[in-house]
């Protein structure tokens, strides 16, 4: 699904990613754990094409295509979705309007018909109720005055509606209470199937009680220093990251 | 990245102005220059009564002694008032029948998307079409007259309804009110006149479409709308002009009078030619608009979407004289390239329990400068007056500017005032968010800007809200990289 080779990136001349190699095959869930400032969120942003970061080397391939130089929206249209850590508010633009615009952009790109309003509402309402959100959520300005939990649920709603091939979850678990965390995890599990992939970025293991990863990577100072299975998570939980740093 | 965005901002914003064509038509045009003779000739040509000529001449006398205002935050080449022609009209006679309108003029309006053919016109909208100095056609007059509604050109009103014109002309904007109002009072050539009788809810939207065609002429129209007791009217004006290298002056006056329990809703979509990228050409839009809530519980609401003109100087205002009367001002002003807008409102509270709302949205792109200037005045007897003002500005790129000048004058201690102001840029983070969902830059910008303007667009009549939204989209296309 996605293959990252020796990826290096910086912001304002500060090197953040110092040679990342990552290969997530179809149908797998990978986790990147690491302390604050290790470069995890930078990786998520660079994968999505955020132009605030400079790519200094390496390649990102998605389904065999090199997307390293591709525009943000084209990556999205190819099936890349970023669950934002801090989704930004757009006052006056309703959730429904925004979601339909995104869906229609995707459908147009895929050569499909625009989704009609009834179809849209039916599927949106179904997902809303699963997330414990009221239908009126669709009428609210996107992320404007949303609580922390609502913001993350809104991201999951979009994830489920847009049904991408690769979902990158950037600290989606931060700032959530247990109930909201469960709801979000349920949404991610519902999304997951044999034909898509998930990359979870976190510095807690608590989300991993609900979503079982296939591979766990530990990131320290812009590099992946160790990869393994769930036992790695428990080791980090017990011993911290220090023993991995060299 | 910033550099890249800036480059794209610089290299764009030159969206072609769709309405910049000229109609080649025979016109009667006065020689340039302004003096008593010109005014007398104009008045005679229009077969005006003596009192109106006297009124014009008095206005001219005052104007000569006045100085052009310089307090606005705008910078422009001064107008040579003697180099302008004060009258230009197509050479044909206006008849009651729409069939007699010159086909070239009909075609001009068709190109502007305004059909003067009643069958083809948007259902429920009557149009008065003003071409340079004169009204060339008014639709649905018969239909409206069944309800007692008078909707005609100003010139016709002077002939057919002199008592109404005499009573109300200058009753809201005195002829010495300000420099441009005095000039307009002296030389106004045409415009629209509306009278809604007692208790009548005007059965359709009324609109005037102003078109400047002739070169080197000024357009000085005058609109007067009177809503008698308990009546209701919604009125819309639209404006376009050819693309020319010279600046052209448009100095209009609009007076609204709302009697007891009457409501007037006045909407403007102003899209005069704004000049080219370098700031050459474009319309000087120096307009005085004011409404007076004469009666108790009356309401006057201004909504404007200002996207055109090189320089805009305009403050649609409401005098709330009647008790419990309401004044509203909803504005979206867009400046791009080198456009300058100094616009806002004045809310004057005289009666008790009067209430005013000001929602102003300024959008600046390119090197545009956008100024909100608004005054709220609460007089001594205005018990329990309330005002809410909200002025938001959005900046696109880093070469434009937004300025806010609120003036507040409260003489009654029971007044309640709220003022909110924000300035923000369209954030890289907002654009990134939209792009990440597969929405391209143009769509993202128009979505963000439309969201920003939502409260104002919601005030426009439905058909025009769509038009306004599209206009903003076209205006701002490619404005962000």
Using the beta-carbon criterion (under 8 Å), do B1 and A71 form an inter-chain contact? no
Q: What is the mean pLDDT of residues A218-225?
A: 94
Give A51 to chain B, closest Cα distance, Å.
6
Q: Are B137 and B104 contacting, i.e. CB atoms less than 8 angstroms apart?
A: no
- Chain B residue numbers with beta carbons less than 8 Å from the beta carbon of A72 are 432, 435-436
Give the gyration radius of chain A's Cα atoms.
18
Helices (H), B218-334: none
A97 vs B427, which has greater pLDDT?
A97
Using the beta-carbon criterion (under 8 Å), do A52 and B1 form an inter-chain contact? yes
Q: Are B240 and B248 contacting, i.e. CB atoms less than 8 angstroms apart?
A: no
For an interface test with A, give the residue of B436, B446, B447 to mutate (most A CBs within 10 A): B436
For an interface test with A, give the residue of B330, B422, B427, B438 to mutate (most A CBs within 10 A): B438
A84 touches chain B (CB under 8 A): yes
> Judging by beta carbons within 10 Å of its beta carbon (0-12, 13-18, 19+), is residue B154 exposed, middle or buried?
buried
Give B395 to chain A, closest Cα distance, Å.
15
B118 touches chain A (CB under 8 A): no
Q: Are A149 and A180 contacting, i.e. CB atoms less than 8 angstroms apart?
A: yes
b (16+ CB within 10 A) / e for B397-423: beebbbebebeeebeeeebeeeeeeee
| Distance in angstroms (rounded) separating the CA atoms of residues B222 and A230 | 79
| Distance in angstroms (rounded) separating the CA atoms of residues A49 and A29 | 21
A71 touches chain B (CB under 8 A): yes
Query: For residue B141, what are its two tokens?
Result: 């007059």
Model confidence over B296-309: pLDDT tens digits? Answer: 999 999 998 888 87
Closest to B229 in 3D by CA, of B194, B257, B269? B257
Model confidence over B433-449: pLDDT tens digits? Answer: 999 999 998 889 888 88
Name the strand (E) or helix (H) holding B232: strand B232-240
A64 touches chain B (CB under 8 A): no
| Distance in angstroms (rounded) separating the CA atoms of residues B459 and B332 | 11
Q: Are strands B340-349 and B311-314 parallel, antiparallel or unpaired?
A: parallel
Model confidence over A9-19: pLDDT tens digits? Answer: 999 999 999 99
Total length of chain A: 246
Cα within 13 Å of Cα(B65), Cβ side: 7
| Distance in angstroms (rounded) separating the CA atoms of residues B225 and B236 | 12
CB pairs A-B closer than 8 Å: 76
Of A90, A93, A105, the CB nearest to B438: A105
Give B41 to chain A, closest Cα distance, Å.
53
Give the list of residues 6+ apart from residue A191 with CB closer than 8 angstroms, or none: A159, A160, A163, A167, A198
Per DSSP, what are the bridge partners of residue A167? Answer: A81, A198
b (16+ CB within 10 A) / e for B444-468: bbbbbbbbbbbbbbebbbeebbebb
Give A156 to chain B, closest Cα distance, Å.
13
Q: State which residue of chain A sits closest to B481, comparing Cα positions.
A: A51
- Chain B residue numbers with beta carbons less than 8 Å from the beta carbon of A52 are 1, 428, 432
Using the beta-carbon criterion (under 8 Å), do B439 and A88 form an inter-chain contact? no
Query: For residue B23, what are its two tokens?
Result: 């109609």
Please, what is the average pLDDT of chain A? Answer: 93
Kindly report the pTM of this predicted structure: 0.81
Q: Are A28 and A215 contacting, i.e. CB atoms less than 8 angstroms apart?
A: yes
Give B392 to chain A, closest Cα distance, Å.
12
Query: For residue B481, what are its two tokens?
Result: 């990289």
Closest to B263 in 3D by CA, of B293, B307, B303, B287? B293
Closest to B241 in 3D by CA, of B275, B268, B208? B275
* pLDDT of residue A184 exceeding 90: yes
Model confidence over A32-91: pLDDT tens digits? Answer: 999 888 999 999 999 999 999 999 999 999 999 999 999 999 999 999 999 999 999 998
B420 touches chain A (CB under 8 A): no
* Dihedral angle of Cα B164, B170, B173, B174, to the nearest 10 degrees: -160
pLDDT confidence band for B480 (50 / 70 / 90): low
Model confidence over A114-164: pLDDT tens digits? Answer: 888 888 999 999 999 999 999 999 999 999 999 999 999 999 999 999 999
Using the beta-carbon criterion (under 8 Å), do A76 and B437 form an inter-chain contact? yes
Closest to A163 in 3D by CA, of A205, A140, A138, A196? A196
Give B327 to chain A, closest Cα distance, Å.
24
pLDDT of residue B205: 84
| Distance in angstroms (rounded) separating the CA atoms of residues B316 and B74 | 18
Model confidence over B117-175: pLDDT tens digits? Answer: 665 555 566 777 777 666 667 777 788 889 999 998 898 999 999 999 999 999 999 99
* pLDDT of residue A201 exceeding 60: yes
Give the list of residues 6+ apart from residue B163 with CB closer than 8 angstroms, or none: none
pLDDT of residue A70: 95
Long-range CB contacts for residues B136-145, cutoff 8 Å, separation at least 24:
B136/B90, B136/B94, B136/B101, B136/B102, B136/B105, B137/B94, B137/B98, B137/B101, B137/B105, B139/B98, B140/B204, B141/B96, B143/B203, B143/B204, B144/B202, B144/B203, B144/B204, B144/B206
Give the list of residues 6+ apart from residue B406 with CB closer than 8 angstroms, or none: B372, B374, B375, B376, B389, B391, B419, B421
Q: Are B283 and B309 contacting, i.e. CB atoms less than 8 angstroms apart?
A: yes
Model confidence over B4-21: pLDDT tens digits? Answer: 444 433 433 445 676 777
* pLDDT of residue B45 exceeding 90: no
| Distance in angstroms (rounded) separating the CA atoms of residues B426 and B32 | 46
Handedness of CA A153, A155, A160, A165 (dihedral sign): negative
Segments of B2-49 assigned E as strands: 27-29
Question: How many C-beta atoms lie closer than 10 Å to residue B390's C-beta?
Answer: 15
| Distance in angstroms (rounded) separating the CA atoms of residues B211 and B366 | 26
Predicted-complex ipTM score:
0.95
Give the gyration radius of chain B's Cα atoms.
22
| Distance in angstroms (rounded) separating the CA atoms of residues B190 and B128 | 11
Query: For residue B293, what are its two tokens?
Result: 């809530």
Model confidence over B402-418: pLDDT tens digits? Answer: 888 889 999 999 999 99
| Chain A stretch 96-115, residues whose beta carbon is closer than 8 A to a beta carbon of chain B | 97-98, 101-102, 105-106, 109
* pLDDT of residue B463 exceeding 70: no
- Chain B residue numbers with beta carbons less than 8 Å from the beta carbon of A102 are 437-439
Q: Are B405 and B371 contacting, i.e. CB atoms less than 8 angstroms apart?
A: yes
Q: State which residue of chain B sits closest to A108, comparing Cα positions.
A: B438
Using the beta-carbon criterion (under 8 Å), do B436 and A76 form an inter-chain contact? yes
Using the beta-carbon criterion (under 8 Å), do B450 and A91 form an inter-chain contact? no
| Distance in angstroms (rounded) separating the CA atoms of residues A41 and A80 | 16
Give the list of residues 6+ apart from residue B95 with CB closer than 8 angstroms, or none: none
Model confidence over B372-411: pLDDT tens digits? Answer: 999 999 999 999 999 999 998 888 878 888 888 889 999 9
Could you state, in order of their start, the residue ranges of all structural domains in chain A?
Answer: 2-244
Using the beta-carbon criterion (under 8 Å), do A105 and B454 form an inter-chain contact? no
b (16+ CB within 10 A) / e for B41-70: ebbeebebeeebbebbbebbebbeeeeeee
The dihedrals phi and psi of A94, each to the nearest 5 degrees, come to -75, 155
For the domain made up of A2-244, give the CATH fold.
Rossmann fold (3.40.50)
């Amino acid at each position: 699904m996605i293959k990252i080779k020796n990826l290096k990136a910086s912001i304002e001349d500060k090197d953040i990613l110092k040679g990342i190699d990552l290969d997530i095959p179809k149908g797998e869930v990978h986790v990147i754990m690491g302390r604050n400032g290790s470069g995890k969120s930078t990786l998520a942003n660079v994968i999505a094409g955020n132009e605030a970061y400079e790519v200094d080397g390496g390649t990102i391939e998605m389904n065999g295509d090199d997307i390293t130089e591709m525009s943000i929206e084209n990556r999205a249209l190819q099936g890349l979705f970023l669950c934002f850590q801090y989704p930004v508010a757009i006052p006056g633009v309703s959730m429904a309007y925004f979601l339909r615009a995104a869906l229609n952009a995707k459908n147009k790109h895929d050569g499909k018909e625009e989704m009609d309003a009834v179809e849209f509402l039916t599927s949106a309402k179904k997902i809303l109720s699963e997330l414990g959100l009221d239908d009126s959520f669709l009428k609210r300005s996107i992320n404007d005055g949303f609580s922390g939990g609502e913001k993350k649920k809104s991201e999951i709603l979009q994830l489920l509606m847009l049904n991408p091939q690769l979902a990158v979850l950037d600290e989606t678990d931060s700032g959530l209470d247990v109930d909201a965390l469960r709801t979000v995890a349920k949404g991610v599990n519902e999304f997951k199937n044999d034909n898509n992939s998930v990359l979870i970025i976190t510095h807690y293991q608590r989300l991993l009680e609900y979503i079982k990863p296939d591979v766990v990577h530990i990131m320290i100072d812009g590099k992946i220093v160790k990869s393994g299975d769930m036992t790695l998570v428990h080791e980090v939980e017990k011993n911290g990251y220090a023993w991995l740093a060299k | 990245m910033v550099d890249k965005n800036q480059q794209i901002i610089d290299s764009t914003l030159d969206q072609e102005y769709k309405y910049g064509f000229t109609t080649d038509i025979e016109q009667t045009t006065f020689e340039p220059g302004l003096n008593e003779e010109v005014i007398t000739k104009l008045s005679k040509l229009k077969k005006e009564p003596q009192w109106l000529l006297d009124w014009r001449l008095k206005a001219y006398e005052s104007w000569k002694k006045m100085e052009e205002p310089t307090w606005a935050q705008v910078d422009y080449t001064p107008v040579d008032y003697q180099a302008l022609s004060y009258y230009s009209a197509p050479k044909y006679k206006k008849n009651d029948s729409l069939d007699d309108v010159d086909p070239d003029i009909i075609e001009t309006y068709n190109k502007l998307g305004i059909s003067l053919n009643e069958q083809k016109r948007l259902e429920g909208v009557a149009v008065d079409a003003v071409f340079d100095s004169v009204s060339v056609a008014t639709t649905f007059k018969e239909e409206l007259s069944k309800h007692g509604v008078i909707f005609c050109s100003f010139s016709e009103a002077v002939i057919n309804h002199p008592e109404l014109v005499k009573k109300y002309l200058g009753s809201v904007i005195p002829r010495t009110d300000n420099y441009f109002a005095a000039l307009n009072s002296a030389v106004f050539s045409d415009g629209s006149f509306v009278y809604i009788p007692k208790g009548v809810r005007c059965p359709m939207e009324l609109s005037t479409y102003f078109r400047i065609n002739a070169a080197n002429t000024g357009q000085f129209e005058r609109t007067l709308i009177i809503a008698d007791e308990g009546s209701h009217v919604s009125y819309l004006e639209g404006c376009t002009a050819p693309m020319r290298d010279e600046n052209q002056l448009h100095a209009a006056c609009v007076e609204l009078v709302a009697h007891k329990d009457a409501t007037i809703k006045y909407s403007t979509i102003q899209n005069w030619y704004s000049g080219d990228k370098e700031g050459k050409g474009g319309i000087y839009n120096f307009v005085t608009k004011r409404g007076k809530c004469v009666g108790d519980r009356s309401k006057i609401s201004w909504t404007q979407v200002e996207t055109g003109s090189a320089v805009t100087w305009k403050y649609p205002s409401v005098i709330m004289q009647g008790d419990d009367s309401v004044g509203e001002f909803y504005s979206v002003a867009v400046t791009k390239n080198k456009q300058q807008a100094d616009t806002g409102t004045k809310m004057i509270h005289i009666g008790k329990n009067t209430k005013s709302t000001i929602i102003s949205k300024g959008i600046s792109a390119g090197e545009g400068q956008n100024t909100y200037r608004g005054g709220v005045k609460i007089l001594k007897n205005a018990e329990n007056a309330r005002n809410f003002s909200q002025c938001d500005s959005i900046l696109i790129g880093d070469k434009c500017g937004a300025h806010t000048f609120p003036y507040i004058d409260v003489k009654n201690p029971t007044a309640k005032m709220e003022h909110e102001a924000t300035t923000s840029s369209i954030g890289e983070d907002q654009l990134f968010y939209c792009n990440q969902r597969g929405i391209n830059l143009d769509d993202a910008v128009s979505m963000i800007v439309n969201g920003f303007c939502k409260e104002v667009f919601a005030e426009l009549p439905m058909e025009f809200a769509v038009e306004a939204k599209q206009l903003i989209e076209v205006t701002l296309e490619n404005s962000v990289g």
